[in-house]
């Protein structure tokens, strides 16, 4: 039986530059992966709409993981048959791992009333507010607000307030993940659970004995997939320490930042695939 190779990557701060969202330094390596037929799966806090736009721009036709693992979308026909527990929607087999975004509107409204000014979320900020928070264009901010499963929150209060805020959401059944710039309020999902499910679909489709996946990320919301992947590539960020992992085997720390570190680290990983076990 054969093995499948797979790259699963975070976008902001990893494949995309933290400041200007450029992926230019990674293009040559993306090309190599394409030629080697190694799928590159985007796994982001971004929405389906945002990720569709980037996939189109990059000519990426592989499955993708939206909103921090809330759902996995696989292009219809990508595998020979529809994976179990998926629903066909707009040309994608969709595996949902979280409840709809609407679930978090009421608890957030109650929190807004009890701690005014302490936070801003995308739903109440609207497109213009999102532009102000992110620096995205109006068009991209609108895409960012087309969320289906999660609510991004920018914390503006103090640490004590944050603790109370997180505890209240926890009581409401939410899982709050810290991304680069925002907290993401969603159901009990993460990029690791999404990767575990998707990896199994690749394995089944190829009748493969193993999937050698490389997870790439720079933030705390990437930790669940960085922990469970066969190899992890950690991307240094300009404004915070590396995400802490419990594993130390099979971890590559990128040289540089963002897409520069991405390209460097993925090359290292590709080289390691062709080394004998003793050399690893
Ligand atoms: Mg990131």
Cβ contacts of 224 within 8 Å, gap of 6 or more: 69, 190, 191, 192, 193, 195
Q: Is 33 in contact with 66 (CB distance < 8 Å)? A: no
Are residues 210 and 168 both part of a single domain?
Answer: no
pLDDT of residue 143: 87
pLDDT (0 to 100) of residue 177: 82
What tens digit of pLDDT does each residue of 40-59 get? 999 998 899 999 999 999 99
Spacing, Cα 219 to ligand 1 middle (Å): 5
Distance 10 CA to ligand 1 centre (A): 6
Looking at the fold, whether 79 and 105 belong to one and the same domain comes out as no
Whether 140 and 178 map to the same domain: the answer is yes
Last residue of a domain, one of 186, 210, 244: 186
Domain shared by 118 and 71, yes or no: no
From the CA of 156, how far away is ligand 1's center (Å)?
Answer: 20
**pLDDT for 197:** 98
- Measured CA to CA in angstroms, residue 14 lies from 96, 139, 196, 256, 260 at distances of 24, 22, 20, 11, 9
- pLDDT above 80 (res 162): yes
pLDDT band (50, 70, 90) for residue 277: low
Indicate if the pLDDT at residue 8 is higher than 90. yes
Regarding whether 249 and 216 lie in a shared domain, the answer is: yes
> What is the Cα–Cα distance from 228 to 210, expressed in whole angstroms?
14
For residue 16, give the CATH number of its domain.
Answer: 3.40.50.1000
Q: Does residue 65 share a domain with residue 9? A: yes
pLDDT range class, residue 280, cuts 50, 70, 90? low
pLDDT at 279: 55
Residues 216 and 146 in one domain: no
Rounded average pLDDT over 30-49: 95
- Boundary of a domain, candidates 163, 186, 209: 186
Residue predicted with more confidence, 219 or 2: 219
What amino acid positions are annotated as catalytic residues? 10
Cα dist from 27 to 39, 91, 260, whole Å: 14, 27, 10
One domain for residues 29 and 112:
no
pLDDT in tens, 94-150: 999 999 999 999 999 999 999 999 999 999 999 999 999 999 999 999 988 999 999
Say how many Å lie between the CA of residue 221 and the centre of ligand 1: 8
User: Residue 192 corresponds to which tokens in the numbers above?
Assistant: 């690791």
Helix (H) / strand (E) element for 213: namely strand 210-217
CATH at 123: 3.30.980.20
Of 25, 2, 51, whose CA–CA distance to 262 is shortest? 25
Does the pLDDT value for residue 65 go beyond 70? yes
Q: In terms of domains, do 132 and 167 share one?
A: yes
The pLDDT, as a whole number, for residue 35 is 95
Confidence of residue 178 (pLDDT cuts 50, 70, 90): confident
Distance from Cα 277 to the centre of ligand 1, integer Å: 31
Separation of CA 237 and ligand 1 centre (Å): 9
User: Where is the domain boundary, 186, 201, 225?
Assistant: 186
Q: Which domain holds residue 126?
A: 101-186
CA of 40 to the centre of ligand 1 (A): 16
Q: How many domains does the structure of the chain reveal?
A: 2
Distances (CA, A) of 5 to 80, 138, 199, 261: 18, 37, 10, 20
268 and 198 in one domain?
yes
Q: Are residues 17 and 89 in the same domain?
A: yes
pLDDT of residue 163: 95
When the pLDDT of each residue in the chain is averaged and rounded to a whole number, the result is: 94
Residues 173, 252 within the same domain:
no
């Amino acid at each position: 039986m054969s093995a499948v190779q797979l790259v699963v990557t975070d976008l902001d701060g990893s494949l995309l530059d933290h400041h200007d969202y450029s992926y230019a330094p990674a293009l040559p390596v993306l090309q190599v992966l394409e030629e080697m037929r190694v799928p590159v799966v985007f796994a982001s806090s971004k929405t389906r709409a945002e990720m569709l736009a980037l996939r189109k721009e990059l000519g990426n036709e592989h499955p993708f993981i939206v909103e921090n693992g809330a759902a996995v979308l696989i292009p219809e026909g990508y595998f020979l048959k529809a994976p179990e527990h998926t629903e066909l929607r707009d040309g994608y087999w969709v595996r949902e791992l979280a409840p709809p975004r609407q679930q978090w509107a009421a608890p957030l409204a109650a929190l807004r009333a009890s701690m005014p000014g302490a936070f801003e979320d995308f739903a109440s900020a609207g497109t213009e507010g999102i532009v102000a928070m992110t620096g995205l264009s109006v068009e991209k901010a609108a895409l960012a607000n087309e969320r289906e499963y999660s609510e991004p929150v920018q914390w503006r209060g103090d640490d004590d307030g944050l603790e109370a805020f997180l505890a209240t959401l926890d009581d409401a059944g939410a899982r709050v993940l810290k991304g680069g710039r925002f907290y993401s309020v969603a159901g009990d999902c993460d990029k690791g659970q999404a990767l575990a499910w998707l990896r199994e679909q690749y394995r089944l489709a190829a009748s493969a004995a193993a999937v050698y996946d490389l997870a790439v990320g720079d933030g705390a919301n990437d930790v669940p997939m960085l922990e469970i992947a066969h190899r992890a590539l950690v991307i240094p960020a300009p404004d915070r320490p590396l995400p802490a992992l419990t594993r130390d085997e099979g971890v590559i720390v990128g040289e540089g930042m963002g897409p520069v570190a991405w390209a460097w680290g993925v090359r290292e990983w590709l080289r390691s695939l062709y080394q004998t076990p003793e050399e690893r």
